[in-house]
Amino acid sequence: MLYLIEDKEGVFGFAYMSSFLFSISLPLMAISSGLILKFAKSIIIDDFKKTFGYISNSFLLVGFFFLIYTFAPMYDLSIYAYYAVLLALALALTAIANHVHKAVITTEQRLKTIISKLFDFIILETPRKHVSEEKQIDYVISYEKIINEIGDE
Inform me whether the pLDDT recorded for 132 exceeds 90: no
Which pLDDT belongs to residue 117? Answer: 82
What pTM, to 2 d.p., does this model score? 0.68
Q: What percent of the chain has pLDDT over 90?
A: 34
Which pLDDT belongs to residue 151? Answer: 62
The CA-CA-CA angle for residues 55, 40, 86, to 5°, reads 35
DSSP H helices in 1-135: 17-43, 49-71, 79-120, 126-130
CA separation, residue 35 to residues 40, 110, 133 (Å): 9, 21, 52
For 17, counting Cβ atoms within 10 Å of its Cβ (0-12 exposed, 13-18 middle, 19+ buried), the class is exposed
The answer to whether 48 touches 70, Cβ cutoff 8 Å, is no
Residue 23 CB neighbours (<10 A): 18
Q: For residue range 41-73, what is the model confidence (pLDDT) as tens digits?
A: 888 888 888 999 999 999 999 999 999 988 887
Inform me whether the pLDDT recorded for 83 exceeds 60: yes
Report the Cα–Cα distance between both ends of the chain, in Å, rounded.
51
CA separation for the pair 142, 148 (Å, rounded): 10
CA separation for the pair 130, 125 (Å, rounded): 8
SS3 assignment, position 114? helix
Inform me whether the pLDDT recorded for 122 exceeds 50: yes
